[in-house]
Amino acid sequence: MKQSVTVNEPKDLKAGVALKAFFSKLKIKPPKFEVKTILRKVVVPIVSILLFIGLWHMGSKALFNVEANYKIEKALTDQGQAAADATKACIASGDLSCQPNTLPSPSQVWASFNTLLADHKTISADKLAFKEKTAALNEKRIAAGKEPITYTGRPSFVDQIGTSLKTVFAGFLLALVIAVPIGIIIGLSETLRSSFNWLIQIFKPVSPVVWLLLVFMIVKTMTKDSNSDSAFIISFISVGLCAMWATLVNTAMGVATVDKDYINVAKVLKLGALQKVFKVILPSSLPLIFTGLRITLSVAWMVLIAIELLAQSPGLGSFVWEEFQNGANDSNSKIIVAMFLIGIIGFLLDRIMLVVQNAVSFNKNASA
């Protein structure tokens, strides 16, 4: 006589079968949680960030000790043992007046970041109070044909980020307006490409400082009697002229390498010159044009800091320079905050351009 044997399935197995049945009813493929994928995409990046912060902390601590020992030895040499003991005690107490001014630790940088945010809130509140206070007076001045009274206090760190973004986008648009049409014209003619190649190769590697000086001479002459913001004009024109060359070269290359069959089809259809450009040449050239635009935006963001610094435009460049000149105990921390934000914003701008490139050019193989 056969005996039936019942096997108790583990609860985890039953749960797995039920979950699979649930996803099959919804006609959705269940997510695959592979250990290798989790390690590669989550665990390893987190470990690398922690390793970076740990090495940074140890490096800042080592430099702090080197600078502290130097200050103590200098006090001993110049003023004697009593001064050296006083300097050592002052450093140990954490008094800001005698702390070594060297590479800040991650915690100091985070504290400076929070300080900058608090400072932005204070300045924003002051701006709002000023606006409310002068609202009635400004209405009377505008009605009388006079300029309204504007807030002239110092900009906050967030305001300076906004100024830098406005400058870089203005420079990027200038580069696009100049480089794309010229690139199309040069790309359509082999004679023009060979004629203007020397000019591109000479001006492409010119330093942003040189472009700034050239633009400064022209703009200052043209805006002598103008009330416009010459620092902003000088900054964005310099950024555009310095960064446009990648777009110019890539546009010319993209137009020159359009499949000849497409050109022949345009001739058969008897398309006009503008129709041929907008319906055949530009769509075929978009992948290379957007590659050039991505490089242009990246170059524009990199050279912006140096240009703002020299043009005295109230952006991130002037912020970094002012903190460097200030020499306060937290100046180094604020400079590193700016460094991280410059890198993060540059990365985000590149990602935005990649998304636009994939959406417009239908280039499925666009790589990060």
Over residues 31-80, the pLDDT tens digits come to 555 677 777 778 888 999 999 999 999 999 999 889 888 888 888 888 88
Least confident of 28-37, 219-228, 264-273, 348-357: 28-37
Q: How far apart are CA 342 and CA 330, in angstroms?
A: 18
Tokens of 65: 């000790």
Intervals of CATH 1.10.3720.10 along the chain: 154-361
Please count the CA atoms within 13 angstroms of the CA of 262 that sit on its side-chain side: 16
Greater pLDDT, 148 or 349: 349
Tokens of 147: 């300029």
Q: How far apart are CA 170 and CA 211, in angstroms?
A: 16
Give which of 337, 319, 297 is closest to 106, Cα–Cα.
337
Q: Is the pLDDT of residue 6 over 50?
A: no
Q: How far apart are CA 168 and CA 235, in angstroms?
A: 9
Q: Is the pLDDT of residue 298 over 70?
A: yes
Q: How far apart are CA 305 and CA 314, in angstroms?
A: 11
Least confident of 57-71, 87-101, 304-318, 332-346: 87-101
pLDDT at 55: 94
pLDDT at 364: 43
Q: Is the pLDDT of residue 136 over 50?
A: yes
Mean pLDDT of 255-280: 79
pLDDT band with cut points at 50, 70 and 90 for residue 18? low
Q: What's the chain's length in residues? A: 368
Q: The domain 154-361 belongs to what CATH superfamily?
A: MetI-like (1.10.3720.10)
Please count the CA atoms within 13 angstroms of the CA of 271 that sit on its side-chain side: 16
pLDDT at 149: 81
Query: From the CA atom positions of the chain, what is the Rg in Å?
Result: 30
215 to 163, 228, 315, 331: CA distances (angstroms): 19, 15, 18, 31
For helices 316-326 and 157-188, angle between their N-to-C axes, nearest 10 degrees: 130
CB 240 within 8 A of CB 174: yes
- Of all residues in the chain, the percent with pLDDT exceeding 90 is 29
